[in-house]
Structure 1
Amino acid sequence: MLRWIIFVLIYLGLSFYIVQALRTLFRQPWVYIIYVLLSLAVLVNFIYQFTAGEEAGRVLSRPKSYAFGFLLTMLSFKLVIILFLFSEDIFRILSGTYQKLFGESKEFSLPQRRRFLGMIALGIAALPFGALLYGMYKGKYNFKVLKYTLEYDDLPESFDGYQITQISDIHSGSFDNRKKIEYGVSLINKQKSDLLLFTGDMVNNKTEEMLPWADLFSTLNARDGKFSVLGNHDYGDYIDWETEELKRENLEDLKRLQRDMGFDLLLNEHRYLQKGDDRIALVGVENWGKGGFKKAGDLKKATSKIAAEDFTILMSHDPSHWSEEVIYDKKHYHLTLSGHTHGMQFGIEIPGWVKWSPVKWRYKYWAGVYKELGQFINVNRGFGFLGYPGRVGIWPEITVITLKKKALT
């Protein structure tokens, strides 16, 4: 309760501070009245959704997700304005103090707040405000197909030009627009890849979240089949279950559902993909993540029956598994496919120029292709979204990777 009181007081204090600034910028009272009403509506909705309106047994329901998104949008607007105006107020106080101590008049007075600086602050604050709203309205379904060509000396000849489509982090419990998801699924199928790989987090918490979408994702296809692994959210670890048995049943239901949808779910297992006399090994491990995430992945078990010289592709949901274990394993993993980070659903990416997201401070390998010790990893930015119900700058991704035999020089 105390945390809520502190939060409300800080939020209202920021709002009051900005109202005083708006009154110096606009003579029409309706401008700051609208701002006050909007701020209060966002606050009341957030408090309601996270207290009385909380959906039992769920960490982040859809209404709560949007309440959080609108609060984040409003706070970004407030903080940018305050960054400008507070710094100016500090200057005004210092200036007034100087005049009182060293000026001709000994009366303390503050210079007037400069109107143009307030207008600049308002204009800059509108940028993240608009971007976050756009991210919730359109950005979260702004699907992008990203294509990479990876070359290998030891790729079997029959697999030269082999095409893999990777998707990750569906998070079906967050979806709210069937037509947009239909478009995303059709975009995956349009790639006409040899192989389709899904690298975990089909749901947010419960198998039932995927049921309305199962028929749609069942239409995904690839010539050599579609394979999947589990992500950290698939285990149901983030909600309180009445019994452990219900939690186990939920996981078994999800495994069964994936198989019913046509996915070959790999649980610390491997499969061979064969073309004539050539083959490559496809390995799938359960979730393995550092920093408190489940460590159910077992490389030794998954690769116990494959040859050391096999060209090997690994599916592992969390990229920290690659950096902590995979690249140092005695087995050489030519390509690892991961997801998990979502690119934090927020950042700036201009190909060839800028690639930045706050998530880089948590994960060294957070989006795209990396190479270490002669091994590649692709970290998919995710198909869905979680928490903030949108994406800004880091768009939902469908990855297409073409394997090539490196030409002899």
Structure 2
Amino acid sequence: MVSILVRIFIFLLVIGLIDWYSFQAFKTIFPTQTFVKIGYWAFSIFVYLFVAYAFLTFSREAMNPSFGRMASLLILSLIPKLIILAFLFGEDILRFFSGAFQSFAGGREGDFLPDRRKFISQTAFAIAAIPFLGILHGVLIGKYRYRVIKHTLEFDDLPEEFDGFRITQISDIHSGSFDDPKKLEYGVDLINKQESDLILFTGDLVNNHAGEMEPWMETFQKLKARMGKYSILGNHDYGDYMSWPSKEAKVANLQRLFEVHEELGFKLLRNESLPIQKGEASIDLIGVENWGKGFAQYGDLAKAAANLSAQSFKILMSHDPSHFDEEVKSFAHHIHLTLSGHTHGMQFGIEIPGWIKWSPASLRYPKWAGLYEEMGRFLHVNRGFGFLAFPGRVGIWPEITVLELKRRSI
């Protein structure tokens, strides 16, 4: 009990320090506008009260939307304040040494510290406005700012009949997070406009339980592909992150999720494979259950590929990209292309093609978004179609991937 109180005290002390420094910037920029100062504290107190309410009422079972709103408000409030803190704390260090030097030199009377410079507060305020507006955009617009990313992949041993074969990959739908039917309809229509041969979904249909998909069934049933739709499970699909009244209830939920995949028109692959036939030729599609470093490892690649020819062209769906480095790239059979998701690119980052590609996800996953090639094998990590926890996307937009397979000319 004492340790909990100490942690709470330290947390409140840190929050108080952040807010105190941020308020100094407001005081310096708006010295006479009392309503601005009152507005600052009113907004901050509202955010903290809402955060407390969201935590007290949070329930995975009830899918309480307050948690997502809390996350967005907290991030929207704290990140700009941390930037202001960095500027003003740095200025205070300089003020301290400047005051100490002048006092030692005998050239300073009165207050020890020089006054804050309005320019520093204005600069901090202006720079803090950039992430504030970016986060606001991510919450209001970015989470549904779907983009289509296209890749052409060449292989020496691709059957001729599959030259030009197109695959649309989507991942991480997280249906329990959606809140705008019209924008979701737009995203599904955009998938269909790609007119691909296959649609492959690489896991996390829901956040926690099968019921989250019920409001969106009709929308996702509209997905179409000439040669079928196939899917796998992600780590969130098993219901491992919520409390169940009984083991039987959890099993029943997973069984219902299997039925949902079927009702959506997806063939769910659970540690199994099947041929995709075109003319006289075929390629092998493999789907494993979730296998992730630091996550549940239900996947069994050896079982899924047990009956496949070593010479066949193979595409693997595996939700977590860490599976590629840990097992897939060194697997006995040559797997030409692995499709993953899971990371979401942390829903936050900076991507400027040819210049910079960074996200906090890179600190956890060496292969966190986009196309990678290693040992003659390709991995594509989809940035996700939906969103989770934080109801927004900043710089890492929801992704629809189109992969065109080409036979390399000799």
Aligned partner (choices 280, 285, 299) of residue 297 of structure 1: 299
Q: Which residue of 2 aligns with 1:43?
A: 48
Residue 32 of structure 2 corresponds to residue 64 of structure 1: no
**Which residues of 2 match residues 209-288 of structure 1 at below 5 A?**
209-288=212-291
- Specify every segment of 5 or more residues in structure 1 that has no aligned partner in the other structure, as ranges: none
Residue 140 of structure 2 corresponds to residue 142 of structure 1: no
SS state of the match for residue 214, structure 1?
A: helix
Letter in structure 2 aligned against 1:11: I
CA distance in 1, matches of 2:286, 2:21: 57
Q: Which residue of 1 aligns with 2:201?
A: 198
CA-to-aligned-CA distance 1:360-407 (integer Å, 9 cap, x gap): 110011001100000001100000001111001100000000000001
CA distance in 2, matches of 1:105, 1:81: 28
CA distance in 2, matches of 1:258, 1:90: 59
Kept after mapping to 1: 8 A contact 2:25/2:84:
no
CA-to-aligned-CA distance 1:315-354 (integer Å, 9 cap, x gap): 0000000111000001100000000000110111111221
CA distance in 1, matches of 2:108, 2:323: 68
CA-to-aligned-CA distance 1:160-179 (integer Å, 9 cap, x gap): 00000000000000000000
Letter in structure 2 aligned against 1:54: F
Kept after mapping to 2: 8 A contact 1:97/1:108:
no
Kept after mapping to 2: 8 A contact 1:18/1:82:
yes
Kept after mapping to 2: 8 A contact 1:100/1:108:
no
CA-to-aligned-CA distance 1:93-152 (integer Å, 9 cap, x gap): 111111222224576521111101110000000011111111000000000000000000
**Which residues of 2 match residues 3-402 of structure 1 at below 5 A?**
3-26=7-30, 27-51=32-56, 53-55=57-59, 57=61, 61-105=64-108, 109-291=112-294, 293-402=295-404
Deviation for aligned residue 1:219: 1.0
Cα distance change on mapping 1:147 and 1:88 into 2, 3 Å: same
CA distance in 2, matches of 1:352, 1:77: 28
TM-score, scaled relative to structure 2: 0.96
Kept after mapping to 1: 8 A contact 2:170/2:382:
yes
Kept after mapping to 2: 8 A contact 1:99/1:108:
no
Deviation for aligned residue 1:36: 1.0
Q: Which shifted more, 222-231 or 354-363?
A: 354-363
Letter in structure 2 aligned against 1:19: F
Kept after mapping to 1: 8 A contact 2:60/2:208:
no
Kept after mapping to 2: 8 A contact 1:100/1:107:
no
Letter in structure 2 aligned against 1:187: L
Letter in structure 2 aligned against 1:230: L
Q: Which residue of 1 aligns with 2:406?
A: 404
Deviation for aligned residue 1:21: 2.7
List structure 1 segments (4+ residues) > 3 angstroms apart after TM superposition: 3-6, 104-108
Kept after mapping to 1: 8 A contact 2:289/2:298:
yes
Deviation for aligned residue 1:7: 2.5
Q: Which shifted more, 98-107 or 387-396?
A: 98-107
CA distance in 1, matches of 2:206, 2:78: 29
CA-to-aligned-CA distance 1:177-222 (integer Å, 9 cap, x gap): 0001000000000101000000000000010000001111111010
- C-alpha RMSD over aligned residues: 1.3
- Specify every segment of 5 or more residues in structure 2 that has no aligned partner in the other structure, as ranges: none
Letter in structure 1 aligned against 2:224: N
Cα distance change on mapping 1:136 and 1:100 into 2, 3 Å: same
Kept after mapping to 2: 8 A contact 1:336/1:378:
yes
CA distance in 2, matches of 1:248, 1:5: 42
Letter in structure 2 aligned against 1:250: N
